[in-house]
Structure 1
Amino acid sequence: MKVELFVKNMEVTDRIKDYVEKKVSKLDRFLSDIEEARVDLAYVKSARSAADRQVAQITIRGRGYILRTEERSDDLFTSIDIAVEKIQRQIERFKGKRAHGRGDGTPASEVVPNIPEIEELEETPIIARRKEFTLVPMDEMEAIEQMALLGHENFFVFYNVNSNAINVLYMRRDGTYGLIEPKLG
């Protein structure tokens, strides 16, 4: 198995390199046909929480499959350890799915007996809360400021004066903002 190491916003020491090699090379014990393992390590300065700045992402490729996991913590070695544990659990689930298949090529529709149709009960979704608020016309930069001032971390709904439409501003994982501009279809 070939182990590739990629880093972003950090220096790779021999200690880190050896640690990754040692941990990831053990994955071969769980699944023998792994062709390559890619380990991406990053220091994300713009993470919302200081406990999420050290990121370890492991991707393994084999014949006909790709398994990937990502873990964030405040310590790089902890991120690596937890990511390796997660990928081991994914491998176990993957092996179980392959081992318990029918294998003879018969479709599931032929194996499962015909089940009579059951009339579905119509349930109306329950709206637990309604909220009304007045939209003040503003541009995108003002919306970002308002979002920060109000302490909204996930999203902010506003009337965009530039596009004359209601927009949704949201915070992305990498610390940048996204803008949803709905259009009637």
Structure 2
Amino acid sequence: METGIVGVGVSVTDRFRSVVEEKATRIENLVPRAQRLEVKVTHRAYKGGRMEDDTVELTLIGKGPVVRAEATDADKFAALDLAVDKMCEQLRRAKGKRVDARKHPHGAHFEKGSGELTGIDVQPASADMIHAVATGEIPIITGNEDEPDYTPVVIRVKSFDAEWMPVEEAVDRMELVGHDFFLFIDARTDKPSVVYRRKGWDYGVISLGAQSAPPAEVLAS
């Protein structure tokens, strides 16, 4: 497995490279077919220079889905240890989920004949919540945190290309990126949906219902 290291705001020393190579063997043992591990180290110094930290981002590339993990610490070597631990745990969970599914099928199950999805929690998103976000009742970060009316309630905005996939694949993708949720478009219903982790191997799905006209005040804005 190849490794690539990039430093942002920090130099990458030979010692750090050798530690990365050593840690990478843990990951390679779990996924022997992995092709490349990309490591990005970002150093941040906060206002006044009173606080600094390093964030290590790991991206594992192979024939399957991309696997990611990251961690932050005052020391980049400690951040690397934490990120590797996270990625190994994600890979173990994904492997354990596949083994458990073969031995004890449970959770989401799609009946090809009836088209029914069972064993998973499905519910529409709250119309009140959608309306609150659309009308700005729940604020979104815009970079104006210093303004007098700034609120500590934070919603960070990210945009991704839409991906169509079945619920089962979305669950696997969620496990591999180490998140508690995963946004996708259900290939069976063409509805924007989110899978989320509950307990153990139990998962839930939130899907948007049939489209309807937005409230008049949203159109006016």
Tell me, yes or no, if the aligned pair for 2:4 and 2:38 is still in contact at 8 Å: yes
Q: Give the letter aligned to residue 96 of structure 1.
A: G
Q: How far apart, in 1, do the equivalents of 2:38 and 2:92 lie? A: 19
- Residues 70 and 7 of structure 1: CA distance in aligned 2, closer, same or farther (over 3 Å): same
Which residues of 2 match residues 43-62 of structure 1 at below 5 A? 43-46=43-46, 53-62=53-62
How far did 1:66 drift? 1.0
Match of 1:70 in 2: 70
- Over the aligned positions, Cα root-mean-square deviation in angstroms equals 3.9
For structure 1, the 5+ residue unaligned runs are: 116-123, 125-139, 156-169, 173-182
- Residues 77 and 110 of structure 1: CA distance in aligned 2, closer, same or farther (over 3 Å): same
Instruction: Using structure 2 for the length normalisation, give the TM-score.
Output: 0.48
Tell me, yes or no, if the aligned pair for 1:34 and 1:61 is still in contact at 8 Å: yes
Which residues of 2 match residues 77-92 of structure 1 at below 5 A? 77-92=77-92
Q: How far apart, in 2, do the equivalents of 1:82 and 1:94 lie? A: 18
Post-superposition Cα deviations, 1:1-20, rounded to whole Å, max 9, x if no partner, equal 01111110001111111111
How far did 1:97 drift? 3.1
- Residues 143 and 76 of structure 1: CA distance in aligned 2, closer, same or farther (over 3 Å): closer
How far did 1:40 drift? 0.6
Post-superposition Cα deviations, 1:124-158, rounded to whole Å, max 9, x if no partner, equal 9xxxxxxxxxxxxxxx999724257xxx5445xxx
Higher CA-based Rg:
1
Which residues of 2 match residues 15-30 of structure 1 at below 5 A? 15-30=15-30
Secondary structure at the aligned position of 2:45 is classed as coil
How many correspondences in the alignment? Answer: 130
Q: How far apart, in 2, do the equivalents of 1:142 and 1:7 lie? A: 29
Q: How far apart, in 2, do the equivalents of 1:5 and 1:20 lie? A: 9
Following TM superposition, the consecutive aligned residue runs of length 4 or more in structure 1 with deviations greater than 6 angstroms are 140-143
Q: How far apart, in 1, do the equivalents of 2:143 and 2:80 lie? A: 38
How far did 1:98 drift? 3.3
- Residues 171 and 23 of structure 1: CA distance in aligned 2, closer, same or farther (over 3 Å): same
Match of 1:184 in 2: 218
Match of 2:111 in 1: 109
Tell me, yes or no, if the aligned pair for 1:54 and 1:76 is still in contact at 8 Å: yes
For structure 2, the 5+ residue unaligned runs are: 103-108, 118-125, 127-141, 158-216
How far did 1:96 drift? 2.2
- Residues 90 and 14 of structure 1: CA distance in aligned 2, closer, same or farther (over 3 Å): same
Q: How far apart, in 2, do the equivalents of 1:77 and 1:19 lie? A: 8
Q: Give the letter aligned to residue 9 of structure 2.
A: N
Tell me, yes or no, if the aligned pair for 1:153 and 1:171 is still in contact at 8 Å: no
Tell me, yes or no, if the aligned pair for 1:154 and 1:171 is still in contact at 8 Å: no
Match of 1:128 in 2: none
How far did 1:100 drift? 4.0
Q: How far apart, in 1, do the equivalents of 2:95 and 2:143 lie? A: 50
